[in-house]
Amino acid sequence: MTSSASPARVLQHDLLSSRLSFQSISRATVLDTVLVLSTIVLPIFARGVIIRRPWAERWAARLNLDLRAVKLLQRLRRKYGSQPLLLRIPYRPDLLLLAPEDVDYVLQSSPDPFATATREKRAALSHLESNNVLISDPPERVMRRPYHEQALATQERIHPLAERFKEVIDEEIAGILDCQKSGLFGHLDWNVFSAAWFRIVRRVVLGDGGRQDEALTQQVNRLRSRANWAFLLRKDEGQLRAFQQKLRVYVDRAEPGSLLAAAPKARNVDPESQVAQWLFAFDPTGMATFKTLALLATHPHYLRQARNEASLHAPDLPFTRTCLLEALRLWPTTPAILREITDARCVDGEDIDKGTGVLIFTPFFHRDDERWVLAHRMDPETWNSGNALPAKGLVPFSAGRAICPAHNLVPLLASLTLAAVISRVAIRLVSPVLNPKILPATLNHFDLRFEINHLPVDPSRATGAGGLTS
């Protein structure tokens, strides 16, 4: 389709190719465009798109920035209506989505006509994984996506290696809690938790041989820090090569019991580029797991339910999984899902150029209290019918053909980790104090701090310890 096609023909094409289409769009004023850039786009960039910056997260949480962003978009929806809002940013026009139906339509219509490989993603991710599926054109995407789907067992609720992963998690969590609670009392913060979490990640992804390889995690993090700057920083070819060479040794070894062993043995997909994404994406998984712990500590009845579930020692923990999904709804780790229009089109008399961006700001849909009375509360039941609800705009893992291929693995590993913690210790959230009736829209995982205490001998039946939430 070209920009010279008549609006009627374009709309007809859209209606034929998909269930729904953009019937109309609105055009934002310059002032509103600047407001969106300063309230939404700039903070996302400052907080770090590929690796979070602790100082920026602290600042964002202090100002509850995501709530400001939600309020702005609600105001724009009242002003312009809920059709996509065109932000005429020079060199990078963007359609900002304001209706869940449009979220559903765009995600179900990816990668064509809404490409996943946007300019910003290419610029950022090429610092560490230039051939990753996320930034691949459709022909390469078709080759690379199965690598992830097989290794991460995308279609299976319980990964075939779940029992092995449970052992790893139990060992590593027992390691930090036994050490922390010596004297029957201690604290759990992000530094302690994340050290154990990344040992789990390396054992799950690379095998036990990777357990002590903190240098590899640091290498990924250095590349991620450069990736935060996207176009603004030159690629460090030397660092990238050193990281890939190191990773290749693990890929070739494919230690039994690891995700690498579960992956297809195909070299033509550039496994290093694919696996770099796993090492990177397990960081937000840890963040979300830790925030779920904060949610459970704030809701004693849900904590009791999760602890009862943990006492069954099963790999499938359905309730705890829904708690993790709630944490991802309340504090999505991917606040911006981006797409790029692959064909010029004309909607509502406006030419939309090829390459126009589409921005789905997930906190807006996840926390839209004008549509949803429980928006700022924890309500695990929301997720009883699945972990992607695009028709409601609830898409922590995205949706459609580019849905996160770890959308089953993440809840599995997170719920096993939570079970390992709460079956061993009583927890109390020391900071920040959360109000369960109105949870903050921004929560900084770096500053979460729990008091932990020994549970009585049979942890699964414990109801309280030393005044702590159990």
Q: CA nearest 298: which of 447, 467, 433, 415?
A: 433
Choose between 188 and 205: whose C-beta lies nearer to ligand HEM: 205
User: Cβ 350 to ligand HEM, closest distance in Å?
Assistant: 25
**For ligand HEM, what does the binding mask look like between residues 300 and 329, x meaning CB under 6 A?**
----------------------------x-
Choose the binding region for ligand HEM from 33-41, 57-65, 208-216, 279-287 (rule: CB under 6 A): 279-287
Choose the binding region for ligand HEM from 32-40, 223-231, 383-391, 392-400 (rule: CB under 6 A): 392-400
Distance CA 409, CA 152 (A): 6
What is the residue whose two structure tokens read 């359609």?
95
Helix/strand/coil percent split, the chain, to 5: 55, 10, 35
By CB under 6 A, residue 334 contacts ligand HEM: yes
Distances (CA, A) of 424 to 163, 195, 286, 296, 461: 19, 18, 19, 14, 11
Choose the binding region for ligand HEM from 33-41, 67-75, 333-341, 378-386 (rule: CB under 6 A): 333-341
Count CB neighbours of 178 within 10 A: 12
By CB under 6 A, residue 285 contacts ligand HEM: yes
User: Cβ 401 to ligand HEM, closest distance in Å?
Assistant: 7
> How many residues sit in the footprint of ligand HEM (CB under 6 A)?
25
- Chosen residue from 80, 282, 302, 331 binding ligand HEM by CB under 6 A: 282
The order of strands in the sheet holding 94-96 is 26-27, 85-87, 94-96, 357-361, 336-341, 114-115
Distance CA 318, CA 391 (A): 22
User: Cβ 117 to ligand HEM, closest distance in Å?
Assistant: 8
By CB under 6 A, residue 284 contacts ligand HEM: yes
**For ligand HEM, what does the binding mask look like between residues 128 and 167, x meaning CB under 6 A?**
-----xx----------x--x---x---------------
- Chosen residue from 200, 247, 288, 347 binding ligand HEM by CB under 6 A: 288
**For ligand HEM, what does the binding mask look like between residues 393 and 432, x meaning CB under 6 A?**
---xxx---x-xxx---x----------------------
Contact between residue 35 and residue 90 where contact means Cβ atoms under 8 Å apart = no
Contact between residue 260 and residue 254 where contact means Cβ atoms under 8 Å apart = yes
The two tokens of residue 247 are 């990773």
Choose the binding region for ligand HEM from 51-59, 246-254, 280-288, 421-429 (rule: CB under 6 A): 280-288
By CB under 6 A, residue 365 contacts ligand HEM: no
The two tokens of residue 74 are 């609600």
Secondary structure of residue 94 in the 3-state scheme: strand
- Chosen residue from 219, 273, 277, 442 binding ligand HEM by CB under 6 A: 277
Choose between 70 and 394: whose C-beta lies nearer to ligand HEM: 394
Choose between 284 and 318: whose C-beta lies nearer to ligand HEM: 284
Among residue numbers 95 through 124, which ones bind ligand HEM (CB under 6 A)? 116
User: Which are the contacts of 93, defined by CB distance < 8 A and separation ≥ 6?
Assistant: 86, 87, 352, 353, 356, 357
| 266: exposed, middle or buried (Cβ count in 10 Å: 0-12, 13-18, 19+) | middle
User: Cβ 278 to ligand HEM, closest distance in Å?
Assistant: 4
- Chosen residue from 153, 161, 206, 337 binding ligand HEM by CB under 6 A: 337
If you write DSSP's letter for every residue of 284-309 in order, what string do you get? HHHHHHHHHHHHHHH-HHHHHHHHHH
The two tokens of residue 282 are 């397990």
Helices 409-422 and 300-310 cross at an angle (nearest 10°) of 100
- Chosen residue from 20, 174, 281, 344 binding ligand HEM by CB under 6 A: 281
- Chosen residue from 39, 292, 333, 442 binding ligand HEM by CB under 6 A: 333
